[in-house]
Amino acid sequence: MLTNRQLLILQLTVNDFIESAQPVGSRQLSKKEEAPFSPATIRNEMADLEEMGYLEKTHTSSGRIPSEKGYRFYVDHLLTPQKLKVEDNLQLRSVFQEKVLETEELIRNSASILSELTNYTTVLLGPDTKAHKVKRFSIVPLSEDKAVAIMVTNNGRVENHVVDIADGLSPPDIEKMVNLLNERLIGTPLSDIPRKLAVESKMLYERHIKNAGTILTSIQDAMSGKTDERLFLSGQMNMMKQPEFNDVTKVKTFLEAIEQGIPLKLFEQTLTGIQVRIGTENREHTLDDFSVISTAYAVGTDMTGSIAIIGPKRMDYGRVITLLDILSEDLSAALERLTIDGTTDRRNQS
């Protein structure tokens, strides 16, 4: 058990290191109003905290910095929520003031604004688009043998697939096919489109439209073979702004980890509420020097996505947690509006 004085000194040490990125000394803490103790008393307490594993010394200074154990204790027991500055709050919410018609655009804008406000790297995992339902189909000819099949979902997502057109499929035939697609497939989840085209619709289309099989098969193949791009990244280079990552090798290792799909592994377990993983708690060697704060957001009752901020272990935990709390709530509300009426613009709700 830590004494009240040790708790205060640990809290002040972590706060000071988060702000300055410099090892913290006893004399430095003794000048703070919150710590009315002599440098000798603080030095002794810091030595005890180091012995217990909450602080550690650096090789370049007699000052101390928080250990992983110290950060963990700080986050679990000493952290107090931060109130955002008015300008930060306005900037964060500005992403939801613009009229946005597509899920991807809204998520991409959210990732960008978070990385700007934190100077860290933002990772957003979009909702599983396979659960999205078809709202509208269209087929636009590109040439004599190619067309683009466009599917708009109830969540504002737009799926584009270049498909093959068989010889003899006329523009009236394509128009008839579009009408049949809209008639039979509106409301169908994207994950069911290939099966429904194959099992329920193909015979019907072939009876009405000559040479329909080629284009239907092409749509099936495009839907079945598509890699679902749900990951949105922003601020990957922000790590270079952090003093502890002025080593180019560390930044290179981080960027390589991003390229190799490490962000997806951050979301292998979807948990409710704010999750904070510090250093080795991430279970990825390439993230040993980083902390990851994540949370989930909802889209209605049947879909969820995730948001994560990756920063140094010295990240401003209180501020990031507040930002994630606000953004996840606002993003859920905006995506819900997009699902209902096709726009995020709040003015349409009046």
The CATH superfamily holding the domain 86-128+230-344 is: GAF domain (3.30.450.40)
Dihedral sign from CA coordinates of 41, 44, 49, 52: negative
Most confident of 195-209, 225-239, 336-350: 225-239
Instruction: Tell whether the model's pLDDT for residue 7 goes beyond 80.
Output: yes
Closest by alpha carbon to 315, among 46, 115, 126, 48? 115
Return d(Cα 24, Cα 305) in angstroms, integer. 39
Could you tell me what percent of the chain has a pLDDT over 90? 36
Return d(Cα 157, Cα 127) in angstroms, integer. 11
- Cross-strand bridge partners of residue 148: 140, 162
Question: Which segment of 18-22, 148-152, 258-262, 326-330 scores lowest on mean pLDDT?
Answer: 258-262
Instruction: Please name the residues in contact with 109: beta carbons below 8 A apart, sequence gap of 6 or more.
Output: 95, 98, 100
Structural contact between residues 95 and 218, judged by C-beta atoms closer than 8 angstroms? no
**pTM of the model as a whole:** 0.74
Average pLDDT over residues 266-273: 67
Return d(Cα 350, Cα 40) in angstroms, integer. 63
Closest by alpha carbon to 313, among 282, 270, 273? 282
Closest by alpha carbon to 207, among 255, 173, 257? 173
For the domain spanning 130-224, the CATH number is 3.30.390.60
**Predicted confidence band of residue 228 (pLDDT cuts 50, 70, 90):** very low
Instruction: Tell whether the model's pLDDT for residue 5 goes beyond 70.
Output: yes
Q: Which amino acid is at 225?
A: G
Most confident of 123-127, 144-148, 167-171, 286-290: 286-290
Average pLDDT over residues 20-49: 94
The listed CATH number (1.20.80.10, 2.40.110.10, 1.10.10.10, 3.40.50.300) that belongs to domain 4-78: 1.10.10.10
> Mean pLDDT in the chain?
83
Return d(Cα 167, Cα 211) in angstroms, integer. 8
Structural contact between residues 55 and 13, judged by C-beta atoms closer than 8 angstroms? yes
Neighbours of 264 (CB within 10 A): 12
Instruction: Name the token pair of 93.
Output: 């919410």
What residue spans in the chain does CATH classification 1.10.10.10 cover?
4-78
Structural contact between residues 110 and 100, judged by C-beta atoms closer than 8 angstroms? no
- Cross-strand bridge partners of residue 141: 147
Structural contact between residues 66 and 17, judged by C-beta atoms closer than 8 angstroms? yes
pLDDT (tens digit per residue) in 35-65: 999 999 999 999 999 999 999 998 766 789 9
Instruction: Tell whether the model's pLDDT for residue 12 goes beyond 90.
Output: yes
* pLDDT score of 160: 81
Average pLDDT over residues 121-126: 88
Task: Report H helices in 186-316.
Answer: 193-196, 202-208, 212-224, 248-259, 262-265
What residue spans in the chain does CATH classification 3.30.450.40 cover?
86-128+230-344
What residue spans in the chain does CATH classification 3.30.390.60 cover?
130-224
Structural contact between residues 121 and 232, judged by C-beta atoms closer than 8 angstroms? no
Instruction: Name the token pair of 78.
Output: 């000493």
Structural contact between residues 164 and 222, judged by C-beta atoms closer than 8 angstroms? no
pLDDT (tens digit per residue) in 185-222: 888 887 787 777 776 666 666 666 666 777 777 777 76
- Cross-strand bridge partners of residue 311: 291
Neighbours of 265 (CB within 10 A): 14
